[in-house]
């Protein structure tokens, strides 16, 4: 049985709904059978959706000896997944279907537009992320989103805090990714950030500290 995605867009709302379906599917699977997730209808995945897929891959890998993601048919989305290093992020999962595409010219041109999916496993990873922001993202924040120096530092602080929360509270490791977008109606650009882990959860983390 393959778990079918009921939408062509993976956004925070649809990703949360799909996570619930995935958990039911994974825990109800017949022992010895692969866990298969059908991503073929997808045309869009935002950073939150990317992180959700990474977490599904890790969780599924802990339950089954074989996890299969059937990759999207959409060429543009396969190119995007190639640029954000999706295959490396879900290492161990079988990626079925058309190969992910890394368009070298487009990647070079747009490399400053995003933070690829990055594993946050130790403090050094946070420094790596902040270094990427300093080298690649500050110019976009300043030139395209008109961020001031103060706002750029605030953006860095938000990213750093999200990463530190993974290491300080989850008792696990996680993922971070970011992408810029253009709001079609307003014509304004903005940055979306996705972060997540398979940790113990906020409630349990706080109870350990304050009970």
Q: Is the pLDDT of residue 183 over 90?
A: no
CATH 1.50.10.10 fits 1-102, yes or no: no
Residue 82: the pLDDT is: 92
Question: What is the arithmetic mean of pLDDT over 166-186?
Answer: 83
Q: At what angle do helices 123-132 and 149-169 cross, to 10 degrees?
A: 160
Within the chain, residue ranges assigned H as helices are 12-28, 47-63, 75-83, 86-89, 104-110, 123-132, 138-143, 149-169, 202-210
* pLDDT tier for residue 55 given thresholds of 50, 70 and 90: very high
**Average pLDDT of the chain to the nearest whole number:** 86
Lowest-confidence segment of 40-49, 114-123, 130-139, 168-177 by average pLDDT = 130-139
Q: Report d(CA 193, CA 114) in Å as an integer.
A: 9
Cβ pair 33, 176 in contact under 8 A: no
Please say whether the dihedral angle defined by the alpha carbons of residues 75, 80, 82 and 88, taken in this order, is positive or negative: negative
Which pLDDT tens digit goes with each residue over 68-114? 999 999 999 999 999 899 999 999 999 999 989 876 555 554 554 57
pTM for the model: 0.85
* pLDDT tier for residue 7 given thresholds of 50, 70 and 90: very high
Residue 112: the pLDDT is: 46
Q: Report d(CA 203, CA 47) in Å as an integer.
A: 24
């Amino acid at each position: 049985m393959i778990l079918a995605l009921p939408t062509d867009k993976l956004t925070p709302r649809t990703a949360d709904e799909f996570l619930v379906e995935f958990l039911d599917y994974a825990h109800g699977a017949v022992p010895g059978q692969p866990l298969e997730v059908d991503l073929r209808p997808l045309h869009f995945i935002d950073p939150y959706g990317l992180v959700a897929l990474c977490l599904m891959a890790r969780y599924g890998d802990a339950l089954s000896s074989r996890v299969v993601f059937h990759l999207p048919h959409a060429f543009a989305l396969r190119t995007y997944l190639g640029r954000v290093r999706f295959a490396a992020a879900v290492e161990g999962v079988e990626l079925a279907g058309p190969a992910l595409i890394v368009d070298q010219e487009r990647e070079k041109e747009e490399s400053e537009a995003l933070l690829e999916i990055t594993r946050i496993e130790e403090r050094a990873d946070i420094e790596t992320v902040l270094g990427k922001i300093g080298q690649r993202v500050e110019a976009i924040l300043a030139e395209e989103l008109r961020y001031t120096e103060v706002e750029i530092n605030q953006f860095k602080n938000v990213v750093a805090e999200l990463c530190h929360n993974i290491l300080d509270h989850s008792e696990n490791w996680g993922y971070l990714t970011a992408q810029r977008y253009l709001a079609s109606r307003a014509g304004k650009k903005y940055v979306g950030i996705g972060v997540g882990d398979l940790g113990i959860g906020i409630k349990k983390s706080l109870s350990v500290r304050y009970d």
